[in-house]
Structure 1
Amino acid sequence: MNSPSAGQASLSREAGELYLLFSLDQDRYALNVHEVVEVLPLRRLKAFPQAPAWVAGGFEQRGVVVPVIDLLVRACGRPAAAMTSTRLVLVDYRPANRVLGLILEKATDTIRLPASGFRDSGLGRGEAGYLGGVQQSPQGLVQRVEVTGLLPADVCALLFPDAGVAS
């Protein structure tokens, strides 16, 4: 016999995975919450000279320097606006086994979506290896962001020089 909590977990899986929603300009994107370590308000960052323009800088968190990228600059060529809904989202960047910060606009809602519902957009991703599939939701078309594809190998080596990431 199933316990009530097992039944709730089963219903939860059927409803889909939980995603953090955010915006890049007028479009909605989703980040699987299993990759999210923490969601923080924006804070002042120390600039990293010689880094690409989309590397916003870094800050110290629990004795570790966390590099931060502004996903709006990376994807759209403009910096994120400092709104009350703009967040600093810390994610588990597995290629380097470290935490990476993302500046994301309108990162205040979550949604459950079936992982199997994401479909290829039909467009080549080119330099945007972080863009995953798309699916329809009550908020419109949502595209998944793949954390592992956020940093090209050279930028990963720049931000995490001691991580020993293979190119």
Structure 2
Amino acid sequence: MLFIVFQLGQDRYALDARELVEILPLAQVKQLPQAPPGIAGMLDYHGVALPVIDLSELALARTAAHRISTRILIVEIASGRRFALIAERANEMLHREVGDFAAAEVAVDAAPYLGPVTRDDRGIVQWITPQKLFSAAVLDALYHPVKEAA
């Protein structure tokens, strides 16, 4: 399997490349006032407004650094829903089989998206599961049809 590797702080994480639709350079995001933490706003993606999640803000309570290596990852989850992830230093690929990952042995209830871990010559890489980034209620709110004003 192929994974894209990115960083949250100094730690490395991986996302299954089969969930990726496209990798884009960091672009302007329309902000959403009073959005939940981690929701950076919306992005016009080929005429469709996609929710944008800032992984650094969600996990570390700080916005992603604006670097050349900060990317927008367009992701499609099993339900067919798409959203964009802002990921720092998303410029590395990793080949691993599912069996190369082992349970993390430490579970963080507030971060159910953190999956099993693998190692390489630079240390630990943890698998992120994007469909677990938010509760079903938050996902429904992100994709809830907007009602027209009367």
Question: TM-score normalized by structure 1?
Answer: 0.83
Tell me the SS of whatever aligns to 2:127.
strand
Report % sequence identity: 38
The structure in which a higher percent of residues are helix is 1
Structure 2 partner of 1:74: 58
Tell me the SS of whatever aligns to 1:159.
helix
Tell me the SS of whatever aligns to 1:109.
strand
> What letter corresponds to residue 55 of structure 1 in structure 2?
I
Structure 2 partner of 1:5: none
Q: Does 1:150 align with 2:148?
A: no
Query: Number of residues paired by the alignment?
Result: 145
Q: Does 1:103 align with 2:86?
A: yes
**C-alpha RMSD of matched pairs (Å):** 1.1
Q: Does 1:141 align with 2:124?
A: yes
Structure 2 partner of 1:62: 46
Question: TM-score normalized by structure 2?
Answer: 0.92
- Which one has a bigger Cα radius of gyration? 1
Q: Deviations along 1:96-146, whole A, 9 cap, x unmatched?
A: x22110000000110101211111111123021111001111231100001
Structure 2 partner of 1:24: 8
Structure 2 partner of 1:91: 75
Question: How far apart are the structure 2 equivalents of 1:81 and 1:118?
Answer: 28
Displaced runs of 4+ in structure 1, greater than 3 A?
none
What is the Cα deviation at residue 49 of structure 1? 2.0
Residues 108-123 of structure 1: pairs in structure 2 closer than 5 A: 108-123=91-106
- Structure 2: give runs of 5+ residues left out of the alignment: 146-150
- Structure 1: give runs of 5+ residues left out of the alignment: 1-16, 163-167
> What letter corresponds to residue 38 of structure 2 in structure 1?
W
Higher mean alpha-carbon deviation, 80-89 vs 130-139, is at: 130-139
Tell me the SS of whatever aligns to 1:155.
helix
